[in-house]
Structure 1
Amino acid sequence: MAVRDVRTLPKAHLHLHFTGSMRPSTLLELADKYGVHLPEALSGGEPPKLRATDERGWFRFQRLYDMARSCLREPEDIQRLVREAAEEDVRDGARWLEIQVDPTSYAPRLGGLIPALEIILDALESAARETGLGMRLVVAANRMKHPLDARTLARLAVRFRDRGVVGFGLSNDERRGFARDFDRAFAIAREGGLLAAPHGGELSGPSSVRDCLDDLHASRLGHGVRAAEDPVLLARLAERGVTCEVCPASNVALGVYDKPAEVPLRTLWDAGVPMALGADDPLLFGARLAAQYGIARDTHGFTDPELAELARQSVRAASMPAEVRDEVLADIDAWLAEPSPWPVS
């Protein structure tokens, strides 16, 4: 059986959060630059011990994320973060990245909401030129804030569609509030030509997936793994071709599953649900994009042809131009056609 290097497998990365993409070494440097005292969980050289299945655990995760975000204060910090995220993804075989951000979280230090979004998009354009990685932005509303704020953000996202915004998301603790409270914001985004990609089906069960489908008309789902608990829902996702952005390492780090083997990759695969493996927040979870494919291979027994199909599914779900998609799909076929340099023991 051929075993090829998953780092050279061409793929699209569709689930990566902005601050969470930061290199740990960069966080340490920025914290030193601004005099921010980091807790041991962020400065100890190892990913923090997290378990967000209760409110206290989620609060700790969010507190660490917010502290890391507080170290991004100048446009040059944003440019560095985006460039380094692109470099990491290129190293892991990505040809396309759709990074997710709530610009309201960065607005106070970057001169306001519109300037913050412009700075982020400028950074994406520069990093794409420097690295050759196709890059786009998913603007995400915060489920913990008022739905009217989400509508404002949706209108802004549509306004910047020609600058590289391709989708609208909904992040933070899915156990709080109702998806339907944000239905108007998602309608604004869809009517403006953006894809709907809310989080659902990670910390909450299958009902949160159904809510994202019924109330927000999701075309992609951030996570979605808890749909595995409902065969009828799995069939619905497969029939509609809704791609689940599955992040195995973060599912375990947040306590959704105790072990990598419990992440239901095979269940979703066998049901025909499209998947796009993602790294989520590698700053906090440790594992970047290629490592997710490593989990699929080493823990779940995905063969090289199956890994290639996972990569194709990520590419098909991406908002890339048709000519770019055709090129990447051809390169996936070429990866699979090459003799494996890796012996199987």
Structure 2
Amino acid sequence: MRDLHALPKAHLHLHFTGSMRHQTLLELAERDGISLPDQLVSEWPPTLSAADEKGWFRFQRLYDVARSVLRTEDDVRRLVLEAAEDDVRDGGRWLEIQVDPSGYGARFGGITAFTDLVLDAVREASATTGLGMAVVIAANRTRHPLDARTLARLAVQYAGRGVVGFGLSNDERRGTTADFAGAFAIAERAGLALVPHGGELRGPEHVSTCLDTLHADRLGHGVRSAEDPALLDRIVAAGVALEVCPVSNVALGVYSDLTSVPLPTLLAAGATVALGADDPLLFGSRLAGQYATMRAAHDLSDTTLAELARMSVRASRAPDDVRAGVLREIDAWVAAPSGTMSP
């Protein structure tokens, strides 16, 4: 078995605060005297479940606490640089990091100023690490749809200058998805990738809603499309990519264990799947870990794992020359003699 850390790949589902290193969280909290709950200290990674609304509230509370430690511009730059370093260590060649500026604007001079800061940090981190990077601006479905329109216009303002997509995050059981169609129409007209969350905490019917009303190009998660063969055929025919995050699916109670994550069903149907880490800070597993767990759970061959990496690259908004270069690297990985065991 070849080393999965050496497998070149793209990372399309990584949340901003959720990308933070655990040690960084502890250091920033100690610096400013912020008291962290035991679940983020002695009981880390936390035991989580989103099977009900109370479970999601606990998860969101931990995320909000983690976000509160980001107090300075240097904190933001550190987070982005470390996320890039971690992806490079895991074989990452391209990263699209997702951020909701409205969650940080109050502390950093507004959503435009914060977006400028993040994009500057991304440019610096990319230059330092060699990792190709871009930003997906995401709205929060628990806020008013007019807020989402504001963020869509912000994303359009930076299209071609580091922002490549527009998303919709938070608990997909909250709000009415169709109400966000106007925001996605704004992003669609600008040619941004449309990447709402769907098909994790809700089933196939919500995936259909995301396709019909938001015109999704990729689905954040989308894993429960496996429950409806006709829907899965539609997804395959439309070329919609699924950003599957196995470890977070299990941690949040969507599936009981990693062997239950229906990756083989998705692949057998011909779906495009890009494995992602979602929120390593809360789930304790980064990009290469997603490949390793699926290899172990489903006895995937190196050929299949290489194809998963190729799909992540093809589903990305990386420039054509970057895509071509990474695909050549993947071919070289799978063509090389095996013998290095993956951790």
Choose the corresponding residue for 2:13, options 8, 12, 15.
15
Choose the corresponding residue for 1:76, options 62, 68, 74.
74
2:144 and 2:272 mapped to 1: Cα distance? 32
- Aligned equivalent of 2:306: 308
Q: Deviations over 1:247-298 (max 9, x none)?
A: 0000000010010001110110111110000000000000100010001211
- Aligned equivalent of 1:44: 42
1:223 and 1:50 mapped to 2: Cα distance? 17
Question: Superposition pairs for residues 259-338 of structure 1, below 5 Å?
Answer: 259-338=257-336
- Aligned equivalent of 2:169: 171
Q: Deviations over 1:23-70 (max 9, x none)?
A: 000000010111110000001163000001100000000000000000
Q: Deviations over 1:221-250 (max 9, x none)?
A: 000011111010110111111100000000
Q: Which amino acid aligns with 1:297?
A: R
Give 1:341 deviation, angstroms.
2.1
Q: Deviations over 1:151-208 (max 9, x none)?
A: 0100010001132000000000100122110001000001012010000000001111
Choose the corresponding residue for 1:155, options 153, 159, 166.
153
Conserved 8 A contact 2:141-2:172 = yes
Q: Deviations over 1:297-338 (max 9, x none)?
A: 111111000000000000000001111111100000000110
1:343 and 1:266 mapped to 2: Cα distance? 23
Conserved 8 A contact 2:258-2:294 = no
TM-score (structure 2 length as normaliser): 0.98
2:17 and 2:42 mapped to 1: Cα distance? 18
1:152 and 1:39 mapped to 2: Cα distance? 33
Q: Deviations over 1:80-104 (max 9, x none)?
A: 0000000000000000000000001
- Aligned equivalent of 1:237: 235
Aligned length: 342
- Aligned equivalent of 1:30: 28
Give 1:146 deviation, angstroms.
0.3
Q: Deviations over 1:201-223 (max 9, x none)?
A: 00001111101100000000000
Q: Which amino acid aligns with 1:294?
A: A
1:131 and 1:225 mapped to 2: Cα distance? 31
1:216 and 1:112 mapped to 2: Cα distance? 27
1:309 and 1:343 mapped to 2: Cα distance? 19
RMSD: 1.0
Which ranges in structure 2 are unaligned for 5 or more consecutive residues?
none
1:343 and 1:332 mapped to 2: Cα distance? 17
Q: Percent identity?
A: 63
Conserved 8 A contact 1:24-1:45 = no
1:243 and 1:193 mapped to 2: Cα distance? 17
Choose the corresponding residue for 1:118, options 116, 123, 130.
116
Q: Is 1:57 matched with 2:51?
A: no
Q: Helix, strand or coil: the match of 1:162?
A: coil
Give 1:343 deviation, angstroms.
6.5
Q: Which amino acid aligns with 2:263?
A: L
Choose the corresponding residue for 1:133, options 131, 143, 162.
131
1:127 and 1:109 mapped to 2: Cα distance? 22
